[in-house]
Amino acid sequence: MKQRVVITGLGVVSSIGIGKELFWNNLIAGESGISQITAFDTKDYPTKYGGQIHNFQPEDFIDRRKIKFLGRASQLSIAASKLALKDAGLDTKLEENLGVCVGTTMGEAQLVEEMDSIWLTRGVDSIRFSSISLYPSSNLSMAVAIEVKAKGPNYVMPTACAAGNYCIGYAFDIIRNGQCHFILAGGADAFSKVAYTGFNRLYAMAPEKCQPFDKNRRGMMLGEGAGMLLVESLDSALERKAKIYAEILGYGLSCDAYHMTQPNEEGIAKAMEKAMKESQIDIEDIDYINAHGTGTIQNDKAEVAAIKKVFGKRYRKIPVSSIKSMLGHTMGAASAIEAISCCLALEDGVLPPTINYQTPDPDCDIDCIPNKSRRQKVSIVMNNSCAFGGNNACVILAKF
């Protein structure tokens, strides 16, 4: 008999706040985390802004002696994981009972930049082996496991900007089938020149602000951050009298099999339909959709078309918002941070807004909760994510 699965701990590191309280207060206030980038010199780039985290101090979470042996994405993963464990009321002596699953797009890409710089200025023999050993993406989950002594299943999901939802879905399966007691699931990505250059060369970046669903939207804003959720069985949560933020009803995955960067409404719709089928709900049960909503012309248009395809005439009645308007696109962390937003929306009965919305777009004629948060009780929410390569993941969460 498969177990019911719940979320009992939330940990977030973002450009609008570290920790769930500050993050949520700023999110529902419509605060923007977009600022001028200082992580590297942007003089040769057409854009200068992004969702950079300016106040993250890794020594607040990690022994100072260990920090130099960790890339920034691993540091963010550890910080969010410790916040989630603390929020869940768990100590770190769980060993075999605790697993880790971290999603990412870029891994530790900034380490490649550092090695390239050393190679160009001082020669290849000056690159330290320790730098090379920190680069593999698998370090993100291994670093968390070592730090919190998690000896259970350990995975990195590199499914780009849908990776956080993939990890939550994986945790759901592991817990439901009784293979592990607790899973830290989520995603992390740090700023890097590689990502910034890539999205600029794709002409996907907005100059100063992200405007999802707006007729005059000009693209995404790159961000960084980490979101980790403590996932466990309902029986376990009830036994230890844990606070339950949400129950995971199910998830759906699909691949567009269409184009490396262009989204396709058919694939997005399939992920939503699969998620609802597994969750044993129908379109009338969804109270809110947390959209992927990057702010690019094609992504927003395709996602709205998919919502219309799935929900039919009801699509206008469902509130849909994109918190990327405030955070920027945090890549592998995006849908994990958005899942945390969904949990807090279920708890507080407040829906976060889509800020910077000015001009309606006939192709995106949804209720996007423009500019101001909305107090509204919700029972079941949908969290959408879409990634390069056509990887789509949709998770359904319910108020317990």
> Considering 292, 342, 364, 386, which one is annotated as catalytic?
292
Catalytic annotation on 54?
no
Determine contact, residues 56/83, Cβ cutoff 8 Å: no
Burial 160-176 (b: 16+ CB within 10 A, else e): bbbbbbbbbbbbbebbb
Would you report the helix, strand and coil content of the chain in percent, each value rounded to 5? 40, 25, 35
Determine contact, residues 394/162, Cβ cutoff 8 Å: no
Determine contact, residues 324/211, Cβ cutoff 8 Å: no
- Ramachandran bin of 373, using left for φ above 0, alpha for ψ from -120 to 50, beta for the remaining angles: beta
Check residue 192 and report its DSSP letter. Answer: -
CA proximity to 393, closest of 100, 155, 169 = 169
Catalytic annotation on 292?
yes
Q: Which two tokens stand for residue 362?
A: 């006939």
Strands 288-290 and 320-321: parallel
> Considering 101, 167, 329, 343, which one is annotated as catalytic?
329
Write down the residue that tokens 């390069």 correspond to.
388
How far apart CA 221 and CA 209 sit, in angstroms, is 7
> Considering 101, 161, 368, 394, which one is annotated as catalytic?
161
Catalytic annotation on 181?
no
Catalytic positions are: 161, 292, 329
